[in-house]
């Protein structure tokens, strides 16, 4: 990776561009440009962003970006192929433990395994029964046994 960084640095200096100017033009931090030129890959957390930075930087400097990316991919493959499988498995297990320990943020609209309350259906059922009883009472008192106002007054006076 040092060779790629040195090539990028030489091209930048050849064009008379400072690190700060390149960083500003590429919307990167000067430290990112410097780390790329020095071959410090460990400061970058995501290899995909790093590849994007290198590609953009090579294009900015007028270099053959495909060749640079091929060199980077070859370097990266050589480095990652040296990692023992046991370390990869260990890192994978640690990542799974971290994910298991994290609190999941779930939308109430998409929650699948959210326990549903049994109280809501009971309340709705009681309200429906109450409404049916109320409507039945009104129908019986007004329509089945209708009394005129006169009959009501007479029955009141008789008592």
Indicate whether 139 pLDDT > 90: no
User: What was the pLDDT predicted at 154?
Assistant: 66
pLDDT band, residue 117 (cuts 50/70/90): confident
Judge contact between 62 and 11, C-beta under 8 A.
Answer: yes
pLDDT band, residue 120 (cuts 50/70/90): confident
Indicate whether 6 pLDDT > 70: yes
- DSSP per-residue letters across 51-105: HHHHHHHHHHTT--HHHHHHHHHHHHHHHHTTS-HHHHHHHHHHHHHHHHHSPPP
Return the percentage of the chain with pLDDT > 90, whole number. 30
pLDDT in tens, 27-85: 999 999 999 999 888 888 888 888 999 999 999 999 998 998 988 888 888 777 777 77
Q: What are 55's two structure tokens?
A: 């590609």
For the entire predicted model, the pTM comes to 0.52
pLDDT band, residue 104 (cuts 50/70/90): low
Q: What is the mean pLDDT of the chain?
A: 82
Fold for 1-113, please state it: 434 Repressor (Amino-terminal Domain) (1.10.260)
Residues 6+ apart with CB under 8 A from 54: 4, 8, 36, 68, 69, 72
Indicate whether 99 pLDDT > 80: no
CA torsion 69-75-77-83 (nearest 10°) is -150
Q: What are 5's two structure tokens?
A: 């960084």
In angstroms, the Cα distances linking 42 to 16, 45, 83, 85, 98 are 28, 7, 15, 20, 21
Per-domain residue ranges of the chain: 1-113, 119-158
Tokens 């980077």 — which residue? Answer: 72
128's enclosing H/E stretch is: helix 119-139
Judge contact between 5 and 54, C-beta under 8 A.
Answer: no
User: What was the pLDDT predicted at 138?
Assistant: 83
pLDDT band, residue 20 (cuts 50/70/90): very high
In angstroms, the Cα distances linking 10 to 54, 61, 136 are 14, 10, 92
């Amino acid at each position: 990776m040092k060779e790629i960084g040195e090539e990028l640095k030489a091209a930048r200096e050849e064009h008379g561009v400072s690190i700060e100017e390149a960083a500003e033009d590429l919307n990167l931090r000067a430290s990112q440009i410097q780390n790329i030129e020095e071959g410090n890959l460990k400061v970058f957390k995501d290899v995909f962003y790093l590849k994007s930075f290198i590609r953009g930087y090579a294009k900015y400097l007028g270099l053959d970006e495909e060749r640079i990316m091929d060199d980077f991919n070859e370097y990266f493959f050589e480095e990652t192929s040296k990692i023992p499988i046991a370390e990869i498995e260990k890192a994978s297990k640690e990542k799974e433990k971290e994910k298991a320990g994290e609190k999941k943020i779930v939308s109430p609209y998409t929650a699948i395994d959210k326990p549903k309350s049994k109280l809501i259906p009971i309340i709705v059922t009681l309200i429906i029964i109450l409404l049916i009883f109320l409507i039945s009472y009104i129908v019986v008192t007004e329509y089945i046994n209708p009394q005129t106002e006169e009959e009501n007054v007479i029955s009141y006076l008789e008592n």
